[in-house]
Structure 1
């Protein structure tokens, strides 16, 4: 497990700059409405087996997940939810089928202007690193490694570390959170007969967390006033222990 100083050391290697957020997929799914949604319509995530999982997936979160200057600001509440990765809380680990998966993170109100996303192999080697500008507003945002970075290899585990850059340059006092991702082969899920909600459900049934959560987030992002989708989203996050941020705004 990397400590904060090790992460700072790694940051001198292979830096990339990414100036835009991932494009949000437009869904033409059969989106339920508040009036026609079945009361039994839920998407509950089912965790995968532990086969291939890293020996340790505990998070390396530091301090209270805020920049030091923000913890003393009168505008910042002392009980504010800290930086948090959207991964199942009981495992801190998830599967993806993507070469460059999109990660979702909750960011509190922050004075930081950028963050750095590092991907690290199981043998503690830096795999890629991407600096990403942020606006500092609270909410759930999407991040991904630069398209020029190497794709994740099927069957390999990677630790992804997110660090808020609180000053002009990275510092040992910057808050860091870490989670894990494993790329798996693409199952036979896509079909002309599937709506995107059905794809989310299929990913969830197979334990493919990152693909399920980003697809559902994109649906919700395109239907911000749809209470039925909001309820599905809230239930989905609650099923993995993320109820603390289930009502936070999406800033994809």
Structure 2
């Protein structure tokens, strides 16, 4: 009898040792804290996040004199005199330059067209709406002389650049404003009807700007300091080289939109003219 009792007790103890852990502990597969973490898909931006270009005209360290000009010219409607001067998409000859509504000392309202430049050479940019190889003229009023340059336009509408000769750019003095005129010879017999735009360029001291680590930082710095002409020129050159660069295109868009030039964001850069001694500058 004692042997049977001891044997029964042994069986109960063995069952408790080998079976209890299996039923008393929850299944590892069902324990939330023991499940392997499920990796969530990462949110990867399609375009690298970069600082956006901000053009701040108020930071421009320009003198406070008025700069009367005209950024856009509708010109005259096509006539039998020169039907080649018809406009495309209702956009006329336009200078890619900042424009402001100002009030003169006499209380009169006027349009001011002024851009700053700190580097050399200096390039002026225009949208030309014509598709015929018309003659155009750029005049820069210097300290002592006026310089006139004639160019033949391409047979495609779009944006063109006119780069002044290095010797002319170097002669421009910091802190001084220089007036320019650009016109297209649509009506040789009646030049007063030609499409034309005008404005001013002011040279600023480049040594006042902090150094930049790379080209894009330089562009952003120019824009931040209100130096329109150099930011525009560097971006235009980048567009010509890196035609499919999303960051360059975004910077170009941001810059033009800052000055209400949205209509020209997608216009092609057609040609850059390098004005030199062959352009026959004429002093008056």
- Using the size of structure 1 for normalisation, the TM-score is 0.72
Tell me the distance in 2 between the aligned counterparts of 1:61 and 1:77.
Answer: 13
Q: Pick the aligned partner of 1:52 from 60, 63, 68.
A: 63
1:237-248 alignment, distance < 5 Å: 237-248=256-267
Q: 1: CA distance between counterparts of 2:80 and 2:202? A: 33
1:180–1:77 Cα change, 3 Å:
closer
Q: CA RMSD of the aligned region, Å?
A: 3.2
Partner of 1:217: 236
Residues 1:42 and 2:52 aligned together: yes
Match of 2:124 among 103, 127, 130: 103
CA contact (8 A) 1:111 1:166 kept: no
Contact kept, 8 Å, 1:83 with 1:177, in 2: the verdict is yes
Which consecutive unaligned segments of at least 5 residues does structure 1 have? 1-33
Q: Classify 1:194/1:66 alpha carbon distance in 2 versus 1 (closer, same or farther; 3 Å).
A: farther
Report what 1:152 is aligned to.
172
Q: Secondary structure at the match of 1:42?
A: coil
Residues 51-60 or 82-91, more deviating: 51-60
Counterpart of 2:136 in structure 1 is 115
Write the distance in 2 (CA, Å) between the matches of 1:86 and 1:44: 17
Whether the aligned pair in 1 keeps the contact of 2:62 and 2:116 (CA below 8 Å) is no
Q: State yes or no: 1:227 paired with 2:246.
A: yes
Is 1:178 paired with 2:198? yes
1:98-150 Cα deviation digits (max 9, x unpaired): 4541011111124352211111259xx75311112221311111013344547
Check whether the contact 1:160–1:179 (CA below 8 A) recurs between aligned residues.
yes
Question: 1:74–1:51: structure 2 CA closer, same or farther, 3 Å change rule?
Answer: closer
Of residues 157-166 and 179-188 in structure 1, the stretch that sits farther from structure 2 once superposed is 179-188
> Which secondary structure does the structure 1 equivalent of 2:127 belong to?
strand
Instruction: Note closer, same or farther for the CA distance 1:67–1:110 as it changes in structure 2 (3 Å cut).
Output: farther
Unaligned runs of 5+ in 2: 1-44, 101-111, 273-284
Counterpart in 2 of 1:130? Answer: 149
Q: Does the aligned pair in 2 maintain the 1:95–1:184 contact within 8 Å?
A: yes
More helix by share: 2
CA contact (8 A) 2:76 2:193 kept: no
Distance 2:71 2:243 in 1: 33
Query: Over alpha carbons, which structure has the higher Rg?
Result: 2
